Structure formats: structure tokens, C-alpha cells
Amino acid sequence: MVQVNELEAAIVAHIGEHGPIGFDEYVDHALYAPGLGFYATGGGAGRRRDFLTSPEVGPLFGLVVARALDAWWDQLGQPDPYLVVEAGAGPGTLARTILAADPRCATALRLVLVEPAEGQWATHPAKVTSRRDLPEPGELGAGPVVVLANELLDNLPFGLVELADGGWCEVGVGATGADGADQLGRLAEVLIPLDARRAAWCRGQAGREGEVGTRLPVQAEAAAWLDSALGLAAGGRVVVFDYASTTKAMAGRPWTDWVRTYADHARGGHPLADPGRCDITVEVAIDQLATVATPDVDRTQAEFLRAYRLEELVADGVARWRALGSAGGLPAIAGRSRVHEADALTDPAGLGAFRVLEWSTQSFSW
């Protein structure tokens, strides 16, 4: 008897009824299907969950982002209210650490969290909107908005294409046949030939010499998210933190390098295995976002954090520890641990190599 989990059985049944689905639709089910998807059932960022993100390393990341929020508040002329939307807030750790850092803009700051997965809300410190879409422009009131997203875009459903023997194809998800009436089929990749226009885009990315088996990600949902974020920001700013690359660079690497699965702080297997039990992520293709708008600033996370005085904050923490030692209690210990947090957040082989993409939307006042 083939063992399939409940979500896999539901996807197989859906495919049996409607035919193969796109890889993007599959990712959507695997991560967000109500009651069964990975995020919908409480998987995600955190020491007790599945992987560590920058805010989960410790409070230093939120402290530096709070400094950045103050700087952007000044640049915007200190609006009150100061609208900041954090999209993909997960368990709300970044928002909590920003508030705990007591930024200068605190009295004006109106922080709105957008997080569709109910399983993530228990610890949220601020207003939550449950939907997946960003608020409509103007819905939060007049004035500029800063939109932040840490490790959101890598988690938005994405498509895959592959150069097969006969040409470029979409990688869809179908189901292998069941062997008997009481057995369910399993999920399996299916290749669906692309029309000439899409195939030409793929050739442009992979080059004519692209080898059979080459794959590319198609990140239409991430581009659509950016489009809405720029509309919402209206004279403010959109700031995205994520692991990122370019479509051309990904064409030259095995797809299993840039599509990754995680559960319980370990890399997982093929994304079609055990849907709902692991995260499925993709490196963000900066060039695909740039078809919506080219970022005004594109730098590493290490560069971003240093630009907002990471080193000074670490030195302050160390000085507090030296002055007070363990008699200084938790604040002194937190000061000392900034050294290790900074190492992790700027690690050139890890979080430090993430990209921070910024769009300043003065030119986008719709």
C-alpha cells in the first residue's frame, strides 16, 4: 500500500479530477492549504520550529532595522502616523524586536503585520491582517508607507521550466496511476511544452547552449507582490531582505541548489515528497523583480546592517557587559550576545550574503 499524507491525497484527488497543476499551484497547496499546508499548520521560522531567519537569531536585527526606520522617518519628514507594513511577519519576532528597541519614531509608528497563516499569529505584537494581499493603497490612511518583508518572496509560489529533449517545457505536477482501487497514486513531475513566446524567454535566460535538463524559476507572484507593495508605499519605501540571485545565474546551477526544502532545521528532499511537512523555498530572481521596477539600492545584508551602525550597537553592548557583568542582568547579557548575533547576521557564507533590495517610491506616487 502506498503511504500518502492527507494533503498529498487531496492534491492527487484534485489532479485526478482536473488534470496536472502548475508547480506554483503545487507550492501554494504545500505551504498554505488551510489546515494542511506547512505554514497553515504552524511550521516556519524560530528555534523551536524549522529554520532560523535573521530576526530569530536574536534582537540585534530588529534593533538595527529600528535604526533604519528612524532614518527613513526623518527622510520622509517625520510623518505622524508613520505607517510601516511588515509582510510575511511569521511569528512576529521582527515586529516585537523593533518595538522593544524603542525607536525615536515610536510615538508615530503604526505597525501593521500581514501574515496569512493563522498558526503564526499567537505571538504577534501588533495589528494583524489575515489575508495574503497587502492593504490597498490609501486603505491605512493617507501618506507614505514603508513596506518591509524578510524572507517572504522566497516563499511565494513559483513556477519551474525545463529544457527537455524537444524544447522548453513547464514543469507541472501530475499523479502516477494507482495500482488498485484502494491505492492512491503519488505526485510526479510532468513536462508540458511551452508556447513560442515563453520558450523564447527561457532561451534568452539560459542561452542557446543551455543543456537538456536546465531549469529556471518563474517568479510571477513575487513580481506581482512587488507591484502591489510599490502601489501601497506611495512615496515611501519597499525594503526586501532575502536570498537572491539572477535567472541567468540559476540557469547555470543545478535546480536543487536554488529550490530548497527545510524541516526541523535540516535540508529536506524533493519538493513533491511529503507536501505540507516541509518548507519549499526558491532564491529570489532579482532580474524578474526588476521587470516591475529596478531596485534603487541592492546590497548585501552585511552592508545594510553596517550602514545602520551595527558595529556601534555591538560596541555599546560589549561596553555594557564589561561595565556591569552578570550583575547587569539580562540587558548586560544581551549586550554581550550582540557579538555572536552580529557574526551570524553578517556571515558572508550565510545571512550576511542575503540581499537587501530597496525601492524608494517618490517616483511612484500614483
Ligand X SMILES: C[S@@+](CC[C@H](N)C(=O)[O-])C[C@H]1O[C@@H](n2cnc3c(N)ncnc32)[C@H](O)[C@@H]1O
- By beta-carbon proximity to ligand X, the closer residue of 56 and 341 is 56
Q: Counting contacts by CB under 6 A, is residue 39 touching ligand X?
A: yes
Least distance in angstroms from the C-beta of 69 to ligand X: 16
120 to each of 45, 50, 55, 343, how far by Cα in Å? Answer: 9, 13, 15, 27
CB of 151 to ligand X, least distance (A): 4
Q: What are phi and psi of 87, to 5 degrees?
A: -95, 140
Minimum gap (Å) between residue 89 Cβ and ligand X: 6
CB 26 within 8 A of CB 19: no
Whether residue 323 contacts residue 317, with contact meaning beta carbons closer than 8 Å, is answered with: no
Give, as one character, the DSSP assignment of residue 66. H
Q: Can you read off the three cell numbers belonging to residue 209?
A: 547552449
The span of 12-20, 148-156, 160-168, 180-188 binding ligand X (CB under 6 A) equals 148-156
88 binds ligand X (CB under 6 A): yes
Instruction: Count other C-beta atoms under 10 Å from residue 363's C-beta.
Output: 10
Closest CB 328 distance from ligand X, rounded Å: 28
Q: Is 150 in the site for ligand X (CB under 6 A)?
A: yes
Dig out the grid coordinates for 157 from the structure. Answer: 509560489
Applying the rule CB under 6 A, the residues between 239 and 278 that interact with ligand X are: none
- At its nearest, how many Å lie between ligand X and the CB of residue 142? 23
Whether omega before 81 lies within 30 degrees of 0, making that bond cis, reads yes
Cβ–Cβ < 8 Å for 124, 44: no
CB of 45 to ligand X, least distance (A): 3
**Among all residues, whose Cβ is closest to ligand X?**
90
Q: Fill in the amino acid letter for 205.
A: Q
CB of 201 to ligand X, least distance (A): 24
* 132 near ligand X (CB under 6 A): yes
Q: What character string, x for contact with ligand X (CB under 6 A) and - otherwise, covers 55-84?
A: xx----------------------------
* Calpha distance 190→198 (Å, rounded): 17
Give the shortest CB-306-to-ligand X separation in angstroms: 20
Among 4, 117, 244, 284, contact with ligand X (rule: CB under 6 A)? 117
Q: DSSP character for 170?
A: E
User: Can residue 151 be called a binding residue for ligand X (CB under 6 A)?
Assistant: yes
Give the interface size with ligand X as a residue count (CB under 6 A): 23
The residue type found at 155 is: N
Phi and psi torsions of 282, nearest 5°: -135, 145
The span of 74-82, 115-123, 206-214, 352-360 binding ligand X (CB under 6 A) equals: 115-123
Residues 155-174 that bind ligand X (CB under 6 A): 155-156
Report whether 119 contacts 91 (CB < 8 A): no
Rule CB under 6 A: say whether 44 interacts with ligand X. Answer: yes
Alpha-carbon gap, residue 323 to 320, rounded angstroms: 5
Site of interaction with ligand X (CB under 6 A): 39, 44-45, 53, 55-56, 87-90, 93-94, 114-117, 120, 132, 150-152, 155-156
